[in-house]
Amino acid sequence: MSREAVVAFVGLGGNLGDAAGCLITAMSELDRLAGTRVTGRSCLYRSAPHEASGPDFINAVVKITTRLSAPDLLVALQHMELAAGRVRPYPNAPRTLDLDLLLYGSARVDSPQLTLPHPRMMERAFVLVPLAEIAPDRVDAALLEVLHGQEISVFHDLGT
């Protein structure tokens, strides 16, 4: 793999089964992807479903360096979701694992398969709060203030 390494951020979430355990496992699996290393990870956060249904979500964000292209990374994330039992019976259904490619370097992509930066990340406290924890330079503090009405709290500190 001769591609230059890129810093990317992946949002993780789930609200079925052992969501916290599933997210921790997914973090380890991300670190084992070809040409990819997890270089930062947020705490696990609990949040009420936002534009979704079911029980509360557990969410986190990881920072990775990867030599995978953005489309190849997206495919790997989707395979991880399927392996974790993710099904998509309807939009925003409860899920065992949801992995979103939030940022991929400074890339801007708008294709049917992938949009970067993630098109709704700036509307979601469950993305921006953990992202701000590990990459405060990527999140405008004023934007966090706008989202303060979306309930989110630390569920588990991973000690990083």
Interval 65-90: pLDDT, tens:
999 999 999 999 999 998 988 776 56
Domain borders along the chain are 6-155
Find residue 115's DSSP bridge partners.
110
Does residue 86 carry a catalytic annotation?
Answer: yes
Query: How confident is the model over 21-49, as pLDDT tens digits?
Result: 999 999 999 999 999 999 999 999 999 88
In this prediction, residue 92 carries a pLDDT of 67
Question: Can 110 be counted among the known catalytic residues?
Answer: no
Whether pTM > 0.85 for this model: the answer is: yes
Selecting among 98, 110, 120, 124, the annotated active-site residue is 98
Among 86, 108, 110, 140, the one annotated catalytic:
86
Q: What is the C-alpha separation between 14 and 41, in angstroms, rounded? A: 16
Our answer to whether residue 98 is catalytic in this structure is yes
Q: How far is CA 149 from CA 6, 58, 146, 152, in A?
A: 33, 18, 8, 9
Q: Of 37, 67, 100, 138, which one is the catalytic site residue? A: 100
6-155 classified as CATH 3.30.70.560: yes
